[in-house]
């Protein structure tokens, strides 16, 4: 079956309970073929939806990543997740939000980009943007990655896609 998925860009994502933010950003929709999601057989990190893991990325390679703001009452956390199996930034976001929203958390993707992770050279670079969610705050991304990657040279750039 050939499925087409609509992705909202700009504006705020409505929460799972049917509400949404009433901000003045322009709302646009893009269509993507295939319906997205994780490819069959793709390995998913056991930390993908763990709130105590601020960052979780693939051990090496170049891949998409997202920043996700999670709130539950007064508690707020920002998670960074990046995986090579994701064809779209939204694939990662949906995997995380699906689990956490069932646990009572509201999840909002606040941007995306790409990560180049060279584990042998102990280097990580955050760069680029997501067409669906905009540019992640790469400086914040570096802050989230640093505790889990001691001894790494972690940089960021607003260049590239």
Task: Tell me the pLDDT of the chain averaged across its residues.
Answer: 81
Query: Residue 15: its pLDDT value, please?
Result: 39
- How far does Cα 55 stand from its chain's mean position? 10
User: Which residues of the chain form beta strands (DSSP E)?
Assistant: 4-9, 28-33, 55-57, 61-72, 75-83, 106-118, 123-127, 153-156
What average pLDDT does the segment 47-56 reach?
86
Specify whether the CB–CB gap between 70 and 107 falls below 8 A: yes
130 vs 53, more confident:
130
Provide the pLDDT confidence category of residue 43 given band limits of 50, 70 and 90: low
Query: Residue 44: its pLDDT value, please?
Result: 60
Would the pLDDT of 145 be above 90?
Answer: yes
Would the pTM of this model clear 0.85, i.e. be above it? no
How many percent of the chain have pLDDT more than 70? Answer: 72
Residue numbers annotated as active site: 89
């Amino acid at each position: 079956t050939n499925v087409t998925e609509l992705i909202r860009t700009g504006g705020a994502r409505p929460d799972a309970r049917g509400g949404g933010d009433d901000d003045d950003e322009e709302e646009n929709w893009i269509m993507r073929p295939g319906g997205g999601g994780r490819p069959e057989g793709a390995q998913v990190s056991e930390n993908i939806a763990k709130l105590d893991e601020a960052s979780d990325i693939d051990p090496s390679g170049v891949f998409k990543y997202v920043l996700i703001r999670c709130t539950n009452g007064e508690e707020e956390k920002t998670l960074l997740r990046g995986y090579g199996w994701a064809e779209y930034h939204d694939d990662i976001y949906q995997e995380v939000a699906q689990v956490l929203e069932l646990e009572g958390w509201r999840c909002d993707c606040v941007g995306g980009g790409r990560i180049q992770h060279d584990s042998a050279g102990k280097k990580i670079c955050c760069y680029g943007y997501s067409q669906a969610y905009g540019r992640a705050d790469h400086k914040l991304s570096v802050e989230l990655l640093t505790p889990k990657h001691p001894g790494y040279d972690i940089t960021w750039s607003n260049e590239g896609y």
